[in-house]
Structures are given as C-alpha cells and as structure tokens.
Structure 1
Amino acid sequence: MDRHVQALLNKLSCASITIATFTLILLFIQTPETCISNSDPRTLIRFPKSSCDSTHRELVSIQKKNRRLWSTKDWRKKVDSFSDFFHGIRNLGFLTNQTRVLCISAGAGHEVMALSEMGVIDVTGVELIDSPPLVSRADPHNLPFFDGVFDVAFSAHLAEALFPSRFVSEMERTVRPGGVSVIAVDPCSGEELREIKGLFRRSRFVSARNVTLIGLKMTQIIMRNRIPS
C-alpha cells in the first residue's frame, strides 16, 4: 500500500514540476499586455521586457520642484509664522539685516526663507539632509564652521537632538562672544527651563517667553554668549 502511495506522490511531483517549468517558459517568451481603457486602443501599454525597453521619464528639476512646494498654502503659512517669530527677535534688538544667522536643523528651510524675505542678507541653514538652495547638509552635532562666525544661532529642534549637550555646545561655539543662541522648545517652566539653561556652558540667560510657532505653543529661550573678560 505504501509503495502505491509513494508512486502516486512521485507522479504528482513530476507533473507539478512539468507544469511549473512550462509556465516559466511562457512568462519568459511572452510579454503581457494590459489595457488602461477598453474604449481607447491608444492606451494599450506593453510592459517593458527589460530596463532598456522602458519609456523615458521626464526629469523634474530642483527649481521646478521648489516652485511647486513654495507655492503651497502650507509652505506659505509656515514661512509667515517664522517671520512673525523673527520680528519678535528683531524688536528685542538681536536681529538686523546685517546679522549673520545660522539656522540649525532647518528642515526644508521655512525659517531661512522667512529671514531672507525680511531682508537679512547672510542666512545659513543646515540639516542632516540638504534641501537646496535653502538648506545645506551638515551634522548639527559637528558643524563645519569656524568658531564665532555667526551673530545668531537658531533652532526649533533641540528636543530632537541625539546629544543635546553637544548640539548646544556647537551652537555656542559658532556664535561670536556677545552673540545669541535662540531656541524654541515645547512649553516649559521651572525645572525644565533650568535644565535647558544648564546645557549652555558659555552663555548667560537673557529671556524666556511663550510664543506660537507654526501653529504650536512653544517657549522661546534666548542665551547670550559670554564676552571674555
């Protein structure tokens, strides 16, 4: 009985292998066709037999992509929000058109565009992933700038830093003596504020106030780099 069962299984295995082999041969020698629309024969599309047989795809330039992005309501809304934020910094006397500003972890560059539209001439934005022409690629924990080359450093992403103390240290290092570091963090007071102030080893506390930035309630903290005596 077992021999009969084994013989039957062997036959089924041979049949399965034959069918599978035949199917693969058909797939290799015949390119399938698909119709997007039955009513229009011009929409009949053949799948490419190889990468060399594929149709050409239009390359979209960075300029064209940027125009699309910058024309959206969401982009404009965020840029306007950053403009309101930086006008507050300007009213405090820390920002002019000649101020050299570094935006750290600048994302797609909303704050860079906001500052440029305000008339600030020298604005540099950096992020782990570049977004030309507004933002260049750089590690916020190891900034590729000399000491003291900026007047103001700004970031709204300290909370996302892998090493907050190193992040802050690089902010302070690249800002000149007497310059300021401005950060925007989740609403904080008391102990949380003291912890953030403690990260700044070369700076003294200037002010903290509640603000709204890109629709979020945040706390703005300003620290001024100490001037060596």
Structure 2
Amino acid sequence: MESHVQVFLNKLSYASIAVATLTFFFLYLQTPETCVDPSDSNPKPHSRFPTSTCDFNPRYYASPNKRNRRIWSTKSWTTAVSSYAAFFKTFHISNHSRALIVSAGPGHSVVAMNELGVADVTGVELVDSPPLVSRADPHNLPFFDEIFDVGFGVYLDRALFPARYVGEIERTVRIDGLCVVAVEECGPRDVEKILRLFKKSRFVRAKNVTLAGEFRTGIIMKVESST
C-alpha cells in the first residue's frame, strides 16, 4: 500500500513541476517589452520595461548643494525660517553668541539664527542634514559643559526622555545663558510641569508662537548655577 502511495506522490510532483515550467515559459513569452504600443518609434523612457538589469538608463543625480538650493528656495522653507527668526527676536540673541539647536530637523532654525547675525550656530538631530545639521543624540550631547550662550530644544514634547533632554541642554549652556524649549501649545498648568524639568535655571517667560506652521509654546529659562 505504501509503495502505491509513493508512486502517486511522485507522479503528482512531476506533474506539478511540469505545470510550473509550462506556466513560466508562457508568462515569459507573453511579457511585452513595453507598456505602450510597440509600433511607437519614440516611447517615453519611463514607459519601457528593461530587458535586463544592465538595460537601465543612467539616473540623473543631483548634488547635495544643488538639491539643498532647490529646497531652500521653496516658499514652505522660507516661511518656516521666518517663523523661527520672529521667535528668536523676542529674546535678543547677541551676534557673538554661541548657539546650540537640539532637534533641529532639516535646519530651519539654524538658518534663522544665521540670518539674524549669529554666525556660530550648531544644529544637531538624530539624522543629519548637511551642511546645516549634524548627527547627535539629544539625550547625550557630544559637547563640553557650559560652552554655549543659548540652547534651544525645538521638540521637547517629542523627546523620549524629557528630563534628560532638558538636562543636557542645561549642562552645555553657561551661567546666565538662555535655555529655550518649545512644546505643543499649552496653558499655564502644563508650563509649570515643564518648569520642574529644569534644575539649574529660573523661568523668564513663556510665549505662544507659530513655528514652521505648528502652534507651539516657547519657554525661556535663564541658567543660574552649574550644579
């Protein structure tokens, strides 16, 4: 009985292989070279299927500088930069200040500070955006203590560890320097909770602002001690 079953299974396997082989050849023969009328003597490049991996035409490559210039000239970019510049003007940053921007994204806030005359601006983010923003973990900043005059945390509300995020900004800002953070727009009670994250700074003021099209609350602190 077992031998009959084995013979049947072998025949079934051979039949399956034969059907699969015939199906493959049928599909191969039916696959058109183009997805347009073959009689078209000048088909569009994107409409033709390649016949092999070597048949692709070279792709156009835009240099980072050219790509950045295109992005920086868009209305959305310039609008976002203007919104950050308007916020920075409210706390009067000196042109000689050393500024740190944490969670800088693609660099809107870095450009905004540069346009206000602050030349020494360091922007960091988990993913770098050269040449404006370098890669760094906002919870473990690769900078010495008290080397910046201003530290700005763009997205405190999105930090994985908010207390560590604030602590790192405070650590890198000198005494009498400013620690500034932005969170989703909130009221006085929520601001009070955020203030508890700061261990070395005193509250200066909070202001509802629009940054890059988002309604945010900016909280400005002043560092008073190094411990």
Query: Is the contact between residue 180 and residue 219 of structure 2 (CA under 8 Å) also seen in structure 1?
Result: yes
CA distance in 2, matches of 1:142, 1:148: 15
Query: Is the contact between residue 79 and residue 110 of structure 1 (CA under 8 Å) also seen in structure 2?
Result: yes
Q: Which residue of 1 aligns with 2:34?
A: 34
Q: Which residue of 2 aligns with 1:24?
A: 24
Q: How does 1:44-83 map to 2 (within 5 A)?
A: 45-50=48-53, 52-83=54-85
Question: Once the two structures are aligned, what percentage of the paired residues are identical?
Answer: 52
Q: Counterpart of 2:56 in structure 1: which amino acid? A: S
Residue ranges of structure 1 left out of the alignment (5+ in a row): 1-6
Partner SS state of residue 74, structure 1 = helix
CA drift of 1:38 comes to: 5.2
- TM-score of the two chains, using structure 2 as the length reference: 0.85
Aligned pair count reads 221
| CA displacement 1:126-150 (0-9 Å, x = unmatched) | 0000001111100000011111110
Matched, 1:216 2:210: no
CA distance in 1, matches of 2:90, 2:75: 23
Q: 1:69 to 1:205 in 2, by over 3 A?
A: same
Q: Which residue of 1 aligns with 2:131?
A: 133
CA drift of 1:197 comes to: 0.7
| CA displacement 1:98-130 (0-9 Å, x = unmatched) | 111101000010000111111111011000000
Query: Is the contact between residue 171 and residue 226 of structure 2 (CA under 8 Å) also seen in structure 1?
Result: no
CA drift of 1:30 comes to: 9.5
CA distance in 2, matches of 1:37, 1:155: 57
Counterpart among 81, 86, 89 of residue 88 in structure 2: 86
Q: Which residue of 1 aligns with 2:4?
A: none
Q: 1:60 to 1:36 in 2, by over 3 A?
A: farther
Q: Counterpart of 2:113 in structure 1: which amino acid? A: L
| CA displacement 1:54-85 (0-9 Å, x = unmatched) | 33222221111111111111111111111111
What is the Cα-based RMSD across aligned positions, in Å? Answer: 3.0
Matched, 1:100 2:98: yes
CA distance in 2, matches of 1:181, 1:35: 59
Partner SS state of residue 80, structure 1 = helix
Q: Counterpart of 2:91 in structure 1: which amino acid? A: I
CA distance in 1, matches of 2:213, 2:222: 27
CA drift of 1:186 comes to: 2.1
CA distance in 2, matches of 1:37, 1:118: 58
Q: 1:56 to 1:212 in 2, by over 3 A?
A: closer
Partner SS state of residue 42, structure 1 = coil
Query: Is the contact between residue 31 and residue 49 of structure 1 (CA under 8 Å) also seen in structure 2?
Result: no
Partner SS state of residue 130, structure 1 = coil
